Amino acid sequence: MRGSPLNFIDARQVPSGTVLRPDLAIIGGGPAGISLALALANMQIKMLLLEGGGMEFDSATQALYAGTETGVHYIPLDATRMRYLGGSTNHWGGWSRPLNESDFEKRDWIPYSGWPFPRSEIEPYYPRAQALIEGGPFLYDGLADGKLPGDLLPLGKGGLYTSFFQFSQWRGNPDHLPTAFGKRYAQDLKRIPNLQLMLNANVAGLRLAEDVRWLDHLDVATLSGVKFTVKPRHTVLACGGIENARLLLASNDRAPAGVGNSEGLVGRFFADHAIPRSTATLVVFGGKIAGFYKTNLNARGTHFRATLAPTEEFKRKRRLLDSLITMDQRTELDELGRAAVATTSAALGIDASNAKAYALGCGLELTPDPYRRVTLTGERDVLGMPRLKLNMTISDHDFASYRQTLVELGRQLLASKAGMLRLDRKSRAEWLGVLDWGNHHLGTTRMHQDPKQGVVDANLQVHGLANLFVAGSSVFPTYGASNPTLNLVALTLRLADHLKGVFR
Amino acid sequence: MSARPNRRAMLMVGAGLGALMLGAGGYEAWRLFGRHYPPTPYDDLLSQLTDREAARKIGSAYSASHPEFSARSAAHLLRSRIRANDLRPALLTEIADNSVIEAGHWVMPESLVLLCAIAAKT
């Protein structure tokens, strides 16, 4: 039953009752699982990567993700992620940006904030993570220091600055789509001699040893009815921010609250980046703005786009959440808008006869909330796994924090005489009316050194279980405003280094 | 030396007269058809607005959400902030000092909004 180097194994061909004994089992073939397998390729250990889906989308497999949502409107649980090799990189937009230093800090105005380590801890892993996502040279805000195809929007002294995203761009793909990890790295994975990659292999249970301090084995099942067992020395759970929690919670035969859930934290603190549309209107008095604010451009060996972001100093001083502002489509001003522009530009002595207006979008960090969570329901999928219910929340405080950031942007535009800003959303109903989400699943197995406050420790090991680790953005204790893939890959590469020490 | 008037001088005089007549006509047309505002106690402030009609729209939006607004109090405040014909530097100072507020959801310097609101009340 060898997969590599010839091909992946189809779990449907594995005889029921088989027991596999790898050194390391990786559950989930998304960006975290694949990055981990690639990073451990040279280790003399037997690895088994279990992917629930196949190489392509399959509706029966995808249906295993179905659940229910309550609270604030959220994307259906079977539409917000992808269950086949590559995971959610099969539908991502490629937006990439490292987290800010302040995102790791204990911020006394944000409850439950603070990573167990500073950004410098994962800084060394960013270049390799950048290479894996195929984002070009690691430049980001350094793009502002070099030649760009256009001028930066003059903002004057203040709380916001032009910050840059870079984009994953699958180099061999003529359409320049973002890197879909499954297809992009399939051949690389097949070449790893000590890796077996098994498709259509759904882990349906994490079974603890009697003393509940050791993960004894995994129950694996296929939709065709095959059932077998994996008894790994160590296991990394890398199924994504929703499914990691589901698997831990559902594995409740020996630990009644679920694996790693003695403190009731698994599934809590779920988060995503809120991306309300058309949150504000930005008018550029002179009418001209560099193209990289409005769309993705290629320069200096990378695909990039400018956003407007609050500085670290501004967020600390005003006690704000992180956010990023994007300039979206052109828009027309109404009569009041034309009056505002005419009056203000005249008072400032600026010619605004060619003024142009743009709708602004954004990505918002949420305040961690233990009641924004996934829980098991009584309904089960065809494999017998309990389905999930997500209770989604967003607080008025989170909208208000972003609104303060927008007001500062408006002030800076006036200070530099470059333009002005209208705040398009005020009431909760208005915000909720334009609310969308980033499909970034964060926080359900949060990291904290104290077992009472986190599911995993700083090495991503589940508290109290010596041989179970969690990879992916479910471990993020706070979320920043940066898209998670680059960051979770960097964090996974750090985990790989830790595991090398474990296996030596 | 000829007593005949210089032709160029005559043309210049004629052009001058023509311009004067056009100017007078223009003034008369403005007086007859241009926008007029009755005198107000705030004309020293309102004269600093380039487009009073546009300003009134902003001012109305502001005062609709600030029913407590008083033109008299606002004028008193503005006179303490703005010396004659000195609006622009005063606004720039305000912007630097974070004195921006919302009027009809637009972020604007506070004094400019108050000036617009006075315009809307007159």
Q: How confident is the model over A483-503, as pLDDT tens digits? A: 999 999 999 999 999 999 999
- CB-based contact, A422 to chain B, within 8 Å: yes
How confident is the model over A379-406, as a mean pLDDT? 98
Nearest CA in chain B to A282: B106
Contact call for A343 and B107, based on CB within 8 A: no
CA distances from A90 to A55, A56, A181 (A): 10, 9, 7
Contact call for A347 and B100, based on CB within 8 A: no
Contact A488, A31 (CB under 8 A): yes
When the pLDDT of each residue in chain B is averaged and rounded to a whole number, the result is 87
> Which of B53, B107, B108, B112 is the best substitution to test chain A (most A C-beta atoms within 10 A)?
B107
* Cα A198 from Cα A34, distance rounded (Å): 12
Instruction: Write the ipTM.
Output: 0.91
Two structure tokens written together for B114: 């108050």
pLDDT score of A3: 46
pLDDT score of B6: 77
Tens digit of each residue's pLDDT (9 = 90 or more) over A117-139 = 999 999 999 999 999 999 999 99
Q: Give the model's confidence band at B12: pLDDT under 50 very low, under 70 low, under 90 confident, else very high.
A: confident
In angstroms, what separates the C-alpha of A356 from chain B's closest C-alpha?
Answer: 15
- When computed from its CA atoms, the radius of gyration of chain A, rounded to whole angstroms, is 24
Burial class of A312 by CB neighbour count within 10 A (0 to 12, 13 to 18, 19+)? middle
How confident is the model over B45-49, as a mean pLDDT? 94
* Cα A460 from Cα A475, distance rounded (Å): 7
Tens digit of each residue's pLDDT (9 = 90 or more) over B60-102 = 999 999 999 999 999 999 999 987 668 999 999 999 999 999 9
Segment (H or E) for A234 = strand A234-237
Contact call for B106 and A346, based on CB within 8 A: no
* Cα A261 from Cα A270, distance rounded (Å): 15
* Cα A264 from Cα A22, distance rounded (Å): 30
Two structure tokens written together for A472: 């992916």
> Which residue bears the tokens 């020293």?
B44
CA distances from A364 to A204, A293, A405 (A): 34, 18, 11
Neighboring chain A residues of B100 at a CB cutoff of 8 Å:
407, 410-411, 414
CA distances from B122 to A237, B61, B73 (A): 70, 15, 14
Contact call for A336 and B49, based on CB within 8 A: no
Percentage of chain A surpassing pLDDT 90?
96
Nearest CA in chain B to A159: B98
Tens digit of each residue's pLDDT (9 = 90 or more) over A432-470 = 999 999 999 999 999 999 999 999 999 999 999 999 999
Contact call for A344 and B92, based on CB within 8 A: no
> Which of A344, A351, A422, A430 is the best substitution to test chain B (most B C-beta atoms within 10 A)?
A344
Percentage of chain A surpassing pLDDT 70?
99
Q: Give the model's confidence band at B36: pLDDT under 50 very low, under 70 low, under 90 confident, else very high.
A: confident
Contact call for A423 and B105, based on CB within 8 A: yes
What contacts B76, CB < 8 A, 6 or more positions away? Answer: none
How confident is the model over A83-89, as a mean pLDDT? 98
Q: Give the model's confidence band at B34: pLDDT under 50 very low, under 70 low, under 90 confident, else very high.
A: low
Neighboring chain A residues of B48 at a CB cutoff of 8 Å:
347
Q: Give the model's confidence band at B32: pLDDT under 50 very low, under 70 low, under 90 confident, else very high.
A: low
**pLDDT > 70? residue A185:** yes
Contact call for B54 and A339, based on CB within 8 A: yes
How confident is the model over A384-397, as a mean pLDDT? 98
- CA within 13 Å, CB half, A379: 10
* Cα A41 from Cα A35, distance rounded (Å): 10
* Cα B10 from Cα A470, distance rounded (Å): 98
pTM across the whole model: 0.92
How confident is the model over A330-339, as a mean pLDDT? 97
- CB-based contact, A343 to chain B, within 8 Å: yes
Q: Which of A151, A198, A194 is nearest to A29 (CA)?
A: A198
- CA within 13 Å, CB half, A12: 9
Contact call for B103 and A349, based on CB within 8 A: no
- Taking residue A108's Cβ as centre, other Cβ atoms within 10 Å add up to 9
**pLDDT > 60? residue A178:** yes
- The secondary structure of A255-276 as a DSSP string is STT-TT-TTS-TTTT-B--B--
pLDDT score of B1: 45
Contact call for B107 and A347, based on CB within 8 A: no
Q: Which of A179, A440, B64 is nearest to B116 (CA)?
A: B64
- CB-based contact, A339 to chain B, within 8 Å: yes
How confident is the model over B23-38, as a mean pLDDT? 64
Cis amide leading into A484 (omega within 30): no
